[in-house]
Structure 1
Amino acid sequence: MARLHALAPAEFAPELRTTLGPALGDPQGLGLLRVLAQRPDITAAFLAFRSRLAAATALPPRLVELVRLRVAFHNQCRSCMALRTKSGADDGVTEALVCSLERPAEAADLTPAERAALRYADLVATDHLAVDDAVFDALRAHFTEPEIVELGVQLAVFVGFGRLSATWDLVDDLPDRFLDRSAPVTPWGADAVVADHR
Structure 2
Amino acid sequence: MPIWAFVRLAGRVTRGEPPRLFLILGKNRRLFRSWLRFAARLMPRGKLPRRETELVILRVAGLCGCDYEYEHHVRMARRAGVSRAEIDGIADRAEREWSPRESAILLAVEQLHTDRTVDDKTWETLRPHLSDPEIVELFMLVGHYEMLALVIGGLRIRPDGHLAA
Q: TM-score range by the shorter chain?
A: 0.7 to 0.9
Q: Kindly tell me: are residues 192 and 111 of structure 1, through their superposed partners in 2, closer, same or farther at Cα, counting changes over 3 Å?
A: farther
Shift of 1:114: 0.9
**How many pairs were matched up?**
161
* Residues 40-189 of structure 1 aligned to structure 2 (within 5 Å): 40-54=29-43, 56-84=45-73, 88-101=77-90, 102-103=92-93, 106-108=95-97, 110-129=98-117, 131-171=118-158, 173-174=160-161
Q: Kindly tell me: are residues 55 and 80 of structure 1, through their superposed partners in 2, closer, same or farther at Cα, counting changes over 3 Å?
A: closer
Q: Residue 70 of structure 1 aligns to a residue in which SS?
A: helix
List structure 1 segments (4+ residues) > 6 angstroms apart after TM superposition.
none
Q: Could you tell me the percent identity over the aligned residues?
A: 27
- Partners of 1:163 and 1:81 in 2: CA distance: 14
Q: Residue 157 of structure 2 aligns to a residue in which SS?
A: coil
Q: Residue 43 of structure 2 aligns to a residue in which SS?
A: helix
Structure 2 unmatched ranges of 5 or more = none
Tell me which amino acid in the other structure corresponds to 1:174: G
Answer 1 or 2: higher relative contact order, Cα 8 Å, separation at least 6.
Answer: 1
Q: Kindly tell me: are residues 77 and 154 of structure 1, through their superposed partners in 2, closer, same or farther at Cα, counting changes over 3 Å?
A: same
* Structure of larger gyration radius: 1
String of CA shifts for 1:107-161, please: whole Å, max 9, x gaps: 02x21111111111112122214x2111111111211111101101111101111
Tell me which amino acid in the other structure corresponds to 2:136: V
CA RMSD of aligned residues (A): 2.4
TM-score (normalised: structure 1): 0.71
Asked if the contact 1:79/1:174 (under 8 Å) is kept, the reply is no
Q: Residue 2 of structure 2 aligns to a residue in which SS?
A: helix
Structure 1 unmatched ranges of 5 or more = 1-13, 176-190, 194-198
Greater helix share, 1 or 2? 2
